[in-house]
A and B are shown apart, each in its own frame.
Chain A
Amino acid sequence: ILNVEQSPQSLHVQEGDSTNFTCSFPSSNFYALHWYRWETAKSPEALFVMTLNGDEKKKGRISATLNTKEGYSYLYIKGSQPEDSATYLCASTNTGGFKTIFGAGTRLFVKA
């Protein structure tokens, strides 16, 4: 069983601040790394899926990087807005593709 660790557990920032979260995962049998955004009372929505070492993905003010050799990924949010408040989940899929292990998430609170 993979262990996916996310830090910090929660984060409080002011509107306009830039922030980043960390996800670490075992690099053996790695196939894909996912980031999901999960708003309260809704279901998780995919932000990025990355497979290659050095991958960088960007969607608006949010971006992510992947280092498969050392087993970590960073999620960056530039100029946080109150609507960015959510839990950000990281998940790692092993080779074969079916067993995806999720981290416990980073809960982001953005204060206006």
Chain B
Amino acid sequence: NAGVTQTPKFQVLKTGQSMTLQCAQDMNHNSMYWYRQDPGMGLRLIYYSASEGTTDKGEVPNGYNVSRLNKREFSLRLESAAPSQTSVYFCASSALETGSYEQYFGPGTRLTVT
């Protein structure tokens, strides 16, 4: 039982390049989330998915797109990376459908955009 996994762990992009961050969970959770974490700030919600086939914007969605490929996987795409998107990205999942609000986090992806 791996929990929540993320790939890659580190990535350096040039401004304008695109990439997809991958996230998968093996806990059969319906809900999945993408956050970014910047110095001095809390985790900020980018997008979330309440269930397979649905996605919704969070607090800071601009510049990102997401795909809930199936129940296990939730990917985050940067179409044209900008230096302001340099951050650590965390994926999380929870079993809201069971009334559990506890979120389980992946190890994070450290992204640098130059």
Contacts and interface: CB of A to CB of B under 8 A. Distances in A.
B13 interface: no
Interface of B: 4, 31, 33, 35, 40-45, 48, 50, 56, 58-59, 90, 96, 100-108
B101 A34 contact: yes
B42 A105 contact: yes
A6 B44 CA distance: 15
B45 A49 contact: no
A71 interface: no
A43 B59 contact: no
Given A98-B96, A99-B48, A93 B101 contact: yes
B96 A104 contact: no
Nearest to B90: A43
A81 interface: no
Contacts of B102: 34, 46, 49
A43 B56 CA distance: 23
A39 to B, nearest CB: 12
A42 interface: yes
Nearest to B31: A98
A98 B93 CA distance: 11
B106 A101 contact: no
A99 B58 contact: yes
A112 interface: no
A42 to B, nearest CB: 7
Contacts of B105: 43-45
Given A31-B101, A43-B90, 16 more contacts: A34-B101, A43-B4, A43-B105, A43-B106, A46-B102, A49-B101, A89-B43, A91-B42, A93-B101, A97-B96, A97-B101, A98-B50, A98-B56, A98-B96, A100-B45, A101-B42
